Structure formats: C-alpha cells, structure tokens
Amino acid sequence: MFPLNSQPSRGHNRARTMPTSSAPRLLFLCFFTLLAHSHFSVARPHRLGLSAEDVATVEAALPARHLAKAKTTFFEVNRPLHPPRGSSGPCSTLLLSQSFALTLNKPPVTAAYSPPSCLSGAGDVSLAVLEWRADCHGVQYDRIFGVWLGGAELLRGSTAEPRPGGVTWSVHKDVTKYASLLAAGNSTLAVYLGNLIDDTYNGVYYANLTLHLYFRRKAQLTAAASTPADLIVPVSRSLPLDDGLWFVVQNKTDIESTRVAVPANAYRAVLEVYVSSHYSDEFWYMNTPDQNGPFREVTVLLDGDVVGAVWPFPVIYTGGINPLIWRPITSIGSFNLPTYDIELTPFLGKLLDSKEHEVGFAVTNAQNSWYVNGNLHLWLDPKGSTTTGGLISYDAPKLSGSITSHSVDGIDGEYRATASRNISATGWVSSSRGNITTTFAQRLSFANSNVVSNKGGAQVINQTTDAHTDVGGGAYAQQVHQSFPLYIFQGGNGSGTSSQRLMRRVEIGFVESRAGGGGAVTSTLRNEQVAEAEVVLRDDQVAGASWRMHQVYNYGASNGGCYLRNVTSVGYDVLFDNNVASCAGTRRR
C-alpha cells in the first residue's frame, strides 16, 4: 500500500472514501486502495491527499499548544473594500441565518428578499458588499456553496474544513455590479451548500449572510465604464431543484443551456460566468491522458456558436493537496471564487429580435463534473425604446493543442499538454448614444507538464494559463491580461514503508492587469502563494506535521487604490503580517 502515487500511471490519486474508524492509526496509508462504501463518495469522492478525518488524526498528534480550544479564524487574503469618499452608510440587512447539516441533494435554503428600505434606487448605491460569515466545528469536508438572488448567482465559495475547537471565516464580496438586482423588487434568495453529517463527519456549517449598502452623494458621479448593468438576466437552472442552480456539465460532449430574451433597448451585454470543478475534475490540472489530459476550458455558446471561452483559475479548495497547507490562510479564490466576463455586445444585433436565444455552456475535455452558470448583464438605452445592431465579423477557429506522453517503465514519465485559442467578434449597436462598434477578442494559451519520478514516489506539475481579453469601442473599452501560474510538488521518502515523510509544495498565482478607456480604472494585481506541508510517520503513527505559507498580495490602481500585504504563517500561527493600504510612492497615476 502506497500513500503516494500507488497508481502512478494515473499520475495521482484522489480517492477520499474510506471506512470510518476511531483508531488513531493513520487511515491515509491505505485509503487509495479502499474504495469502500461511505456516504461521502456521493458528495465528493475524489480527493488528493488527506481526508478530513486524516487531518483530524494529524491534529490530534500535534503538540498541545496547537490544540486551541477557541475557534480559529481562517482567511483568504484580499484587499479590503472601501466605499468611495463621501458615501453614506452602511445600511446593513441580515438576509439569512442558517445551519447546513444534512443538505446534500436537498432543495436550496430560500428566503424572501425585499430591497432594504434604505435602498431607493440602484443608481444611489456607491458600494454594495455581501458578507458571508460562517463557522463550523468538529470534522467535516470542504463543501461548495452558491448564493443566488432571483436566479442570478452572487457568490460561490468553498467552506473551510473545521477543527475540533471550531473555525470561523468570512467573505466580503463587492456586489455593486448587481445593484439593479438588489433594487429590483421582491425576489427569492437561495443558498445551496450540500453537506452531510454522521458520527465521524459531524461538522454542521452555520452561516449568516448580510448585505451592506453605501450610498453616494447626489452630485457624486461614477465613471461610465463602471456603471452597473440596468438588468441582470440569470443563465442558470430554475427552482425547484434538489441542488444548486448551477448547470452540471458531466462530460466533454455535454452542453447545458437555457433560453434567454433580451429587451429591445439593450445597448451592451456581458455574460459573467461562474465555474467550479468537482469529483473527477476537481484537480483537473493533474489529469493524465486517460483522464482527458490536464486542459479544461468553459466555452460559451450562443445559439450553438462558441462566442467566448473561460480558461479558469485553478482554485484549490481547502481540502485539496494537503488540507493543512490552507490553514489558516486559504488558497487563492477558494472562499470567493473568481468569475469571468464574456463581452456579448458584438452579438446584440442577433439578440435584439425580441425572441429567445439559447445560451449554453460546455467544458472542453470535461469529466464529471463542472458546476457552471452565468449572469447576463444588460445595459439599457434610457431614451430610445429600441436599439438595433449587426455583427460585422466573427472568427472562432477550433482550439489547437496537443498532449504528449513519455515513459520508459510505465511508471515514471512525463506528460506535456499545450493549448491555444483565439476568438474575436465585432459588431455595431445603434442607440441614443450613437452608433458604436464593439470588438471582443480573446487570445488564450496554456501549457502544463506533469512529471512522475522516483518510481512513482514524486510528482511535479507546472502549469501556466495566459488569457488576453480586449474589448474595443464604446466607453467600456478595456484590455485584461490574466496569468495563472501553478506549480505542485508531491513526494516523500520511503514510500510504502511505515516510517516516512510526506511532502507537498504548492506555488500558485493570480496575476492580472486591467487597462481601459472612458475613465475605467487601470490596475495591476499580483497575488501569489508559496506553501509547503510535511507529515512524518513513524511506525504508521503521526510523529509530526508542519506546514507554512507565504503570500504576497500586491494591488495598485490608477485611482490611487493600493494594497500590499505580505504574510507568513507557520502551522496555525501567523508569524508576519504586514499590510500597507496607502502605498504612497508606489501609487500609479
């Protein structure tokens, strides 16, 4: 029985199922070969590394000073949200207070939503913040959850895995772009968090969801480029459901779609895509050729044509690789998953016929399963009752890419995958704002290498995703460049013996630059983590565990916005945490 790469031809192992046992013996020594019963196979069967129960075993073996009785706060490093100068507020409203115990495959929790009485119109909102605050104690897996208002998703996150003494975490998400939805009238708020509890996995999640609104002074203006949409049309599944409102894309040929109608006075359309990967594709970036390789993309289809692609950031949930690594500083994007914008304005000519059109999602190379849905943000012409448009050009050549494998002995070896894709479209829209031509162009590239060595005892993943997105024309012209480097090492000494060291190292980055016209903010973000964990076993017992995280979050914007945070944790202790909110001197003009 090998704790690491017992099936190196598959590159890695991700079983999380195991028999429950109260014995202190480390279960992960054999869990790769035990594909037993266990309810959790339904929830999230594929794991890489330690299960939540293994982690509880490791924790029990830690020196006493780590066994905090008080709740531990886990956090994702992000820049704080500040309302524009001169704003009033906050006006805070508790939207939901809920526990999640046996909620898997049950209807989402719903609550009636009415716009808070302090909110008189979407145009008054200078900042809207959705706060998710949750706690849990005991033993539990990380669970995915989503929050929808009127069918449009506002937040997707992974939960923190708890500790026996409890954990708490919070997310503050800027939801200003949903202002029209928040002000629109009565609707239904839905939260799905599929949890399961039993004697071993006893962690119940408790969560409060609060909306904080800030209002602008009457004379305060916003840049045209950042004015929220006038209408948000959900591109998701409708209640009732025994699941989240996301579509579940199960394989590479599966296309999940719905029909949407666009008002006849729309002059701009942007589809915002939410995506998360689960089960066989949770660690898609480690997949070998027999698992459809490591490349994944979400394609957006409009009436069957690919009009945009999302090359996702590899979000590692709190239970991924080695859950200790993500304590107390969680992995980038895990508590608040990134979303991706596809500019559909060039295609408005087609959509303005007041008929329904099919918007669909597919995932290239998908294995079961991907949770995908979208919000169609629409800007409406206040003066003209109808707008008109036409497509001038559209080019979406097929994805190009390759996978190569090389192995001498069928165990150690190397896989390499590359992919690239360009999509571009140009169209005009005539409204009371004039006849404006908009271009949307994506230039995407991807490279991944997966090297297995040491008779399957070590594995190295090195991946880069590069996404250039240009929107030309109009007040909302913008160039976005995203780069997502990922490096994973897993190995150890003496695999298969009773005394060994299990090691993990992860380097991951979310790097983004945005530049725009029309008063849009130009910004750069470098958010990078380097983390390591080591678990030492002696005679199959945990003799020690250690882990550390270093993260640098460096944001600068043309409006003077600036945030630099440099934080290091060792075990559960934050050793060094330096943040500079007013980076005078480094401020860009």
Residues that bind ligand NAG (CB under 6 A): 97, 112, 114, 133-135, 185-186, 206-208, 250-251, 253-254, 388, 397, 400, 420-422, 428, 430, 435, 437, 443, 462, 487, 493-494, 497, 499-501, 507, 536, 552, 566, 576
Tokens of 217: 């002074």
Closest C-alpha to 298, from 246, 357, 355, 351: 246
CB 376, min distance to ligand NAG, A: 23
Cα dihedral 211→278→311→391 (10° resolution): -70
Tell me the helices (H) and strands (E) count for the chain, helix number first: 4, 29
Residue 564 near residue 554, CB atoms below 8 Å = yes
CB 222, min distance to ligand NAG, A: 27
Closer of 235 and 429 to ligand NAG (Cβ): 429
Closer of 388 and 513 to ligand NAG (Cβ): 388
What residue number has its CB nearest to ligand NAG? 494
* Phi, psi dihedrals of residue 225, rounded to the nearest 5°: -65, -25
Closer of 400 and 407 to ligand NAG (Cβ): 400
Closer of 41 and 493 to ligand NAG (Cβ): 493
Closer of 81 and 530 to ligand NAG (Cβ): 530
CB 414, min distance to ligand NAG, A: 13
Cα distance between residue 373 and residue 63, in whole Å: 44
Helix (H) or strand (E) holding 148: strand 144-149
Cβ-Cβ contacts under 8 Å for 199 (sequence gap 6 or more) = 20
Nearest-5° Cα angle at 409, 408 to 411: 115
Residue 124 near residue 214, CB atoms below 8 Å = no
The single-letter code of the amino acid at 38 is: S
Closer of 20 and 251 to ligand NAG (Cβ): 251
CB 435, min distance to ligand NAG, A: 4
Closest C-alpha to 415, from 423, 424, 404: 404
CB 586, min distance to ligand NAG, A: 10
Closer of 112 and 219 to ligand NAG (Cβ): 112
* Phi, psi dihedrals of residue 575, rounded to the nearest 5°: -85, -35
CB 430, min distance to ligand NAG, A: 4
Closer of 126 and 547 to ligand NAG (Cβ): 547
CB 5, min distance to ligand NAG, A: 16
CB 421, min distance to ligand NAG, A: 6
Cα distance between residue 140 and residue 137, in whole Å: 8
Cβ-Cβ contacts under 8 Å for 95 (sequence gap 6 or more) = 111, 113, 189, 209, 210, 211
CB 248, min distance to ligand NAG, A: 8
3-state helix, strand, coil in the chain (%, to 5): 10, 50, 40
Cα distance between residue 40 and residue 9, in whole Å: 25
Closer of 437 and 453 to ligand NAG (Cβ): 437
